[in-house]
């Protein structure tokens, strides 16, 4: 079980890096000067503060990536506090099969409905 969880954490870290790189590239190559400036701001801030910086400062074109980044960061935070794999609502364990399908899953099947 521990190996499977470590594997999921490694996958989440790779996913986090990919999303951050993609966001930086999109913002840096944007024709909107505010987005280019945002890219420069992100480069000078720790990656752990990116969600807060991005939340209200990106165009709708990038909201999907920001939402994905938020989910991945939340899952990694749960690892840090020892709550990964437990439902955010009822605190029951989420099945390993469900976590393998979606490592950012926050709720068990019953609470998700």
Going by C-beta distance under 8 Å and a sequence separation of 6 or more, which residues neighbour residue 113? none
Q: With 0.85 as the threshold, say if the pTM is over it.
A: yes
pLDDT tens string, the chain, 113 residues long: the values are: 678 889 999 999 999 999 999 999 999 999 999 999 999 999 999 988 899 999 888 888 899 999 999 999 999 999 999 999 999 999 999 999 999 999 999 999 899 88
pLDDT score at 71: 96
Check residue 58 and give its pLDDT: 84
- Do 23 and 66 meet the contact criterion of CB atoms below 8 Å apart? yes
């Amino acid at each position: 079980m521990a190996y499977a969880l470590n594997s999921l954490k490694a996958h989440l870290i790779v996913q986090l890096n990919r999303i951050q790189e993609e966001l930086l590239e999109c913002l840096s190559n944007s024709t909107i000067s505010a987005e280019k400036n945002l890219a420069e701001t992100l480069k000078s801030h720790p990656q752990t503060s990116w969600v807060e910086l991005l939340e209200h400062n990106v165009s709708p074109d990038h909201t999907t990536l920001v939402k994905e980044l938020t989910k991945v960061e939340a899952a990694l935070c749960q690892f840090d506090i020892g709550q990964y794999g437990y439902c955010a609502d009822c605190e029951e364990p989420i099945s390993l099969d469900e976590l393998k399908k979606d490592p950012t899953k926050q709720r068990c099947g019953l609470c998700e409905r």
